[in-house]
Structure 1
Amino acid sequence: MITREHRTPLSEWWWTVDRLLLAAIIALMLAGVILSLAASPPVATRIGLDPFHFFNRHILFLVPSIVVLIGVSFMSPRQIRRSALVVFALAVLLILATLAFGPEVKGAKRWITIVGVNIQASEAAKPSFIVIAAWLFSESIRKPGMPATSMAVVMLIMLVSLLILQPDFGQTMLILMAWGSLFFIAGMRMVWVAGLAGAAAGGLFLAYFMVPHVAGRIKRFMDPASGDTFQVDTAMEAFSNGGWYGLGPGEGIAKRSLPDSHTDFVFAVGAEEFGILLCLALLALFAFIVIRALSRAYATEDLFSRFAASGLAILFGVQAAINMAVNLHLIPAKGMTLPFISYGGSSMISLAYSVGMLLALTRMRPRTEVEAIDAHVARTYA
């Protein structure tokens, strides 16, 4: 039994971690297991695999993800900073290796195979980059003379450039939105925020005219008659067929023809089989996680923990919002997984690392520890 009287690392973790936030994350994972079982068998059958191939792999990836999530949630803010630096450096090296040696699929190089495992390094780069940016922003406030903000901008340009070379504009826009939100939270001047927003809009404008792939998706979104909109149309039909209560487990029609029913469009499959009520429940879970994390971040007195937790919560929420918006045809189609629901090993483990850091940063810590962390940073850069 875990009690307050017995001071062990496990009891310390249990009584300081946000258990409601942890329960919501576990609920998402369980929903992902159910929806993977519902959506993946037809896809596996179509490509000649065992019907439960993707479901079994989903469970296989879920086990190390839970280990990573719990393990990272034990970390201190200092350990989180150090781990983020290591993970980000490895992710950048893997992205470079992917550009050099990765196979080209549908005009993009996003995956590299290491020891028989397909790895999408950009997934690990996202949360680690946000944590490093949060640390730099907190340092720029503590030490105005330190060029921390400039360093954060340089790192952003470097990462975005690598993603554009793949190309992966979806991940690029996600990182830009999370970084811009963090930049705003850190109290930067509105002129800088407006300038960055203008630069992002200009980059999207250039991509429209210079990258046919991007232009095609925007055109199909604005005018469905201009190209193939099969997946989006099928997803919309799934929402219509499901109604409020759904057709029932295993009774969905859309998954029989949707190529990405277990990844990008699992939300539509869930709507058809379990109804709009399930979609609203998932939306409520995502909203609760983001709002709860932001409120806990606001309550902490350590600037780094506040910024990092806020950035990770925004990154998590924006990714979920993009996936659901694509399924509902509210934005142009873009391959983006629904956190802990869609199939994908790299995505699931990186999300576990991200929310593990989120749980660690929002743990209740005594004031003296926060002061000790600040004092250590001050001594380091004195």
Structure 2
Amino acid sequence: MMRLSRTNRTALAEWWWTVDRLTLLAIGLLISLGMVLTLAASPAVAMRLHYPPFHFVYKQLLFLLPSLMILVGVSLLTVKQIRRLAVFVFAGAFAAMILTLLVGPEMNGAHRWILIGPFALQPSEFIKPAFIVIAAWMFAEAHRLPGFPGTAVAVALYVMVISVLALQPDFGQLMLITMVFGAIFFMAGLSWVWIGSLGTAALAGLMAAYMLMPHVASRIDRFVNPAGGDTYQIDTALDAFHAGGIFGRGPGEGEVKQILPDAHTDFIFAVAAEEYGVLAGLLIIGLFAFIVMRTLSRAMEEQDLFIQYSSCGLVALFGLQALINMAVNVNLIPAKGMTLPFISYGGSSLFAVSLTMGMLLALTRRRAGSHVPMPSGWGAVA
């Protein structure tokens, strides 16, 4: 058996001693919890759909091996290779998103998927981390090379992405990308002109979505006035939290999975709380919070602005998606149809979040001379 000692110069040994092993451990715990909760939540859903009881469990296990390969394989890459990978993934995912508008099947009133044999692929999941890395790269280059139009390029790419998302439509992903892009823009030191322009555009887009998209208006109206619409899923999820209490009903004893159609995806957090209690929910929240805070701490020690911006952007993408999912489960925000990273069932989601965290682990690996105390000035992008 190969020993991964510090004197071992193989790529795997070097990776092991430079990667953030605590973040890697937290990711491993989330993946393990995801499989346990898929086993708890999915059999009831599978039987309602006339599948074998463990249909979704076996499929998630099938997705897990390539996801782990993506996670580890991408985390082995250099910073330059991460940038190149982001460009290739962005180009492929954007082309696939255009393809969904032309030949993608309509599911729940939207064209977000491409069918590949028995599998359905959601390209927008993959464009998120790629876009964040490229935008961070452009902002960093704009700071490093005065006169380089990095800000304009990043904004142009952002407009391209959200335009296609609006056409699908997928306003959950659109809002998530907008929030993360705004966070990176803020880090890079955006001017008041950009703040006003982007804020106005975001507000106008939200108003247009409310007026032109009935399903968007319906979700917002149900959230603002629960008595005026169907709030069955949210009410059932809240009942699950109440029934679970502190310690839960016990493994397999939950009832929410028997009646919620999305118990294994969008509402798996409610299943966890019902069967394993509020303590399980706090454990899940704690793991996400740990990954976010640890990554931000390591990113702030970096000299390279690209690594700072991209690491913070990727972990913001990861953390905000988790926050949105959990907030929907406890009725803090309108339903978004967004998965809980590493925990919800789904191949596209699992592959994409593995890509995201693989990029993050690669960027935050310890490199000689790269970590210094955070400089007082972050620079500004006009």
Normalised TM-score (structure 2)? 0.95
What secondary structure, in the 3-state scheme, does the structure 2 residue paired with 1:367 have? coil
Residue in structure 2 matched with residue 267 of structure 1 by the alignment? 269
Letter in 2 for 1:219: D
User: Contact 2:303/2:371 (CA < 8 Å) preserved in 1?
Assistant: no
Residue in structure 1 matched with residue 138 of structure 2 by the alignment? 136
Letter in 2 for 1:43: V
What secondary structure, in the 3-state scheme, does the structure 1 residue paired with 2:182 have? helix
Letter in 2 for 1:169: F
What secondary structure, in the 3-state scheme, does the structure 1 residue paired with 2:300 have? helix
Residue in structure 2 matched with residue 380 of structure 1 by the alignment? none
Residue in structure 1 matched with residue 286 of structure 2 by the alignment? 284
- Name segments (4+ residues, structure 1) moved above 6 Å: none
What secondary structure, in the 3-state scheme, does the structure 2 residue paired with 1:259 have? coil
Stretch of structure 1 that moved more, 272-281 or 191-200: 191-200
User: Contact 1:249/1:274 (CA < 8 Å) preserved in 2?
Assistant: yes
Residue in structure 2 matched with residue 13 of structure 1 by the alignment? 15
Residue 156 (structure 1) aligned with residue 158 (structure 2): yes
Q: CA deviation at 1:369?
A: 11
2: CA distance, partners of 1:21 / 1:191: 38
1: CA distance, partners of 2:21 / 2:371: 21
Residue in structure 2 matched with residue 377 of structure 1 by the alignment? none
Deviations 1:335-366 (A, max 9, x none): 00000000010010010000000000000001
Mark the runs of 5 or more structure 2 residues left unpaired by the alignment. Answer: 373-382
Residue in structure 2 matched with residue 312 of structure 1 by the alignment? 314
1: CA distance, partners of 2:195 / 2:16: 39
Residue in structure 1 matched with residue 362 of structure 2 by the alignment? 360
Deviations 1:128-149 (A, max 9, x none): 0000001000000011201110
2: CA distance, partners of 1:60 / 1:235: 28
Residue in structure 2 matched with residue 118 of structure 1 by the alignment? 120
Letter in 1 for 2:182: G
Letter in 1 for 2:155: V
- 1:183 pairs with 182, 185, 189, which one? 185
Question: Where do residues 201-350 of structure 1 align in structure 2 (5 Å cutoff)?
Answer: 201-350=203-352
User: Contact 2:303/2:370 (CA < 8 Å) preserved in 1?
Assistant: no
Q: CA deviation at 1:194?
A: 4.4
2: CA distance, partners of 1:191 / 1:368: 33
Q: CA deviation at 1:114?
A: 1.8
Letter in 1 for 2:208: L
2: CA distance, partners of 1:43 / 1:337: 16
User: Contact 1:293/1:313 (CA < 8 Å) preserved in 2?
Assistant: yes
2: CA distance, partners of 1:200 / 1:292: 30
Q: CA deviation at 1:11?
A: 1.3
- 2:200 pairs with 194, 198, 201, which one? 198
Residue in structure 1 matched with residue 72 of structure 2 by the alignment? 70
Letter in 2 for 1:251: E
Letter in 1 for 2:26: A
User: Contact 1:183/1:193 (CA < 8 Å) preserved in 2?
Assistant: no
Residue in structure 2 matched with residue 51 of structure 1 by the alignment? 53
Letter in 2 for 1:268: A
2: CA distance, partners of 1:369 / 1:222: 47
1: CA distance, partners of 2:196 / 2:339: 29
2: CA distance, partners of 1:334 / 1:55: 24
Aligned length: 370
Q: CA deviation at 1:303?
A: 1.3
Q: CA deviation at 1:113?
A: 0.7
Q: CA deviation at 1:189?
A: 2.3
Letter in 1 for 2:323: A
Q: CA deviation at 1:368?
A: 7.6
What secondary structure, in the 3-state scheme, does the structure 2 residue paired with 1:299 have? coil
Task: Specify whether residues 31 and 194 from structure 1 end up closer, same or farther in structure 2 by C-alpha distance, changes over 3 A only.
Answer: farther
1: CA distance, partners of 2:74 / 2:294: 19
1: CA distance, partners of 2:22 / 2:80: 24
Stretch of structure 1 that moved more, 188-197 or 320-329: 188-197
Deviations 1:259-316 (A, max 9, x none): 0000000000100000000000100000000111111111111111111111000000
Normalised TM-score (structure 1)? 0.95
What secondary structure, in the 3-state scheme, does the structure 2 residue paired with 1:232 have? helix
What secondary structure, in the 3-state scheme, does the structure 1 residue paired with 2:115 have? strand
Deviations 1:214-272 (A, max 9, x none): 11000000111211111101000000000000000000011100000000000001000
Residue in structure 2 matched with residue 167 of structure 1 by the alignment? 169
What secondary structure, in the 3-state scheme, does the structure 2 residue paired with 1:113 have? strand
Q: CA deviation at 1:157?
A: 0.4
Letter in 2 for 1:269: V
Residue in structure 1 matched with residue 42 of structure 2 by the alignment? 40
Letter in 1 for 2:201: A
Q: Calculate the aligned-residue CA RMSD, in Å.
A: 1.3
